[in-house]
Structure 1
Amino acid sequence: MTIEGTREALVRAGVELLEETGDSDVGLRAIARRAGVSHGAPRRWFPTHRSLLAAIAEVGLADLAATLAEAADRAGSDLAAVAEAYVEFAVSRPAMFTLVFRHDLLEGSGAELRTVSQPLFGWLVDMVEREMSNGDAREAAAALWVGVHGIAVLAATGSLELAAGGVDRRQLIAIVVRNSLAPR
């Protein structure tokens, strides 16, 4: 295995284990075992456990960005369709979704996750700006993300039914989109 191949294999193994176990703090030894390398190998490529988790989270953020872009392309930039894709990502990949937003766990990892997450938010601001007739697109995008993220967390944990009392998640998403874009 090449030098780059070992690093890639560790990240890929971490992603696989995260998805299989649902443990956002998947261990170094388990990742090394899955990658087929010695238990000390992760330390050669990642100075800390957090730095490996951050590399795994980068994959998740990139996957989320690709999922949202695909939904926007497919639905003609319909914000509700993009929001539904966000929620579906959380439901279908709850451990990755959780890890991506575990800033407490990833803090100090040395990774620049903001280089992936900030353009994602900027992309959302641009989409919102195209849909708004007036108002602050950045503020509306933040409100939209917060609302949809709440739905996503509740849906991913199986709590949406309890919290929303049988209201369809698509209805909730439509309400959040409409309210976020409403003039203030």
Structure 2
Amino acid sequence: MLDAAIDVIAEAGPAAISLRDLARRAGVSHAAPAHHFGDKAGLLTAIAAEGQELLADRLHEAHRRSGGDFLEVGVAYVRFAVEHRAHFEIMYRPELHRPDDPAVIAGRTRAGAVLYRGASERGPGRSADEVRTAGLAAWSLVHGFATLWIHGALPEGLGDDPEAAARTVARHLGVSPG
């Protein structure tokens, strides 16, 4: 059912989700989605939680693979948004799911820890407030870029590679490897 929901979101957006239609697509009884998820918000909460975990895994892997390169972790965020657009569309829309769900919180905390770790590593000796602000700045940059990219709202001339374009924009703002 989650796969069917992700397909619907990718095709037509979250407003197109219908539990009855998902049951038909998944080949299960019309009561199965309600039994497993309770309601539409429960289903979207499961998608948001799955997305947060996938994002956290992707960011941790980028951090490990790049030796903690702050820029490459940001590029991994953009790559995730482009490759998992349906999840991304739900994860940051708290009006669609239950943002206080423990699984959503756990995934969001894991993902945020990597971005904030990069912010603290770039400025040893920073106060907790400075690290929090730097982490928020990093998240804002990559989230905003990813959102603009997937909605086709960026100006022409950046090419067709979201990763290369994200690197160019980040470097312009002084975010460099390391």
Q: TM-score range by the shorter chain?
A: 0.7 to 0.9
Query: Does 2:87 align with 1:96?
Result: yes
The TM-score with structure 2 as length reference comes to 0.81
Q: Which runs of 5+ in 1 are unaligned?
A: 1-9, 180-184
* Residue of structure 1 equivalent to 2:142: 148
Alpha-carbon distance between aligned partners in 2 of 1:22 and 1:85, rounded to the nearest angstrom: 25
Find the counterpart in structure 2 of residue 169 from structure 1: 166
Q: Say if 1:22 and 1:94, in contact at 8 Å, map to a contact too.
A: no
Q: CA deviation at 1:103?
A: 0.8
Give the 3 Å change call, closer, same or farther, for CA 174–134 of structure 1 in structure 2.
Answer: farther
Paired-residue identity, %:
32
- Segments of 5+ residues of structure 2 without an aligned counterpart are 160-164
Question: Of the two structures, which has the highest relative contact order with CA contacts closer than 8 Å and spacing of 6 or more?
Answer: 2
Equivalences for 1:44-123 in 2 at 5 Å?
Answer: 44-107=35-98, 111-112=101-102, 113-123=104-114
Instruction: Please give the residue correspondences for 1:1-40 in structure 2 after superposition, counting only pairs within 5 Å.
Output: 10-19=1-10, 21-25=11-15, 26-40=17-31
Q: CA deviation at 1:100?
A: 0.9
Of residues 111-120 and 34-43 in structure 1, the stretch that sits farther from structure 2 once superposed is 111-120
Q: Deviations over 1:79-102 (max 9, x none)?
A: 111101111221222222111111
CA shift, 1:146, in A, is 1.0
Are residues 35 and 91 of structure 1, via their aligned partners in 2, closer, same or farther at CA, if it must alter by over 3 Å? same
SS of the equivalent of 2:35 reads helix
> Helix, strand or coil: the match of 2:175?
helix
- Pick aligned residue for 1:131 from 111, 122, 144: 122
The Cα RMSD (Å) is 2.5
Q: What are the Cα deviations for residues 27-63 of structure 1, in whole angstroms up to 9, with x where unaligned?
A: 2122212322111111112222101111012111111
Whether the 8 Å CA contact 2:63–2:114 is kept in 1: the answer is no
In structure 2, distance between residues paired with 1:63 and 1:177 = 28
Contact 2:6 2:86 in 1 (8 A): no
Hey, what's the Cα distance between the residues in 1 that align with 2:26 and 2:174? Answer: 42
For residues 31 and 18 of structure 2, what CA distance do their matches in structure 1 show? 12
1:41 paired with 2:35, answer: no
TM-score, structure 1 as length reference: 0.78
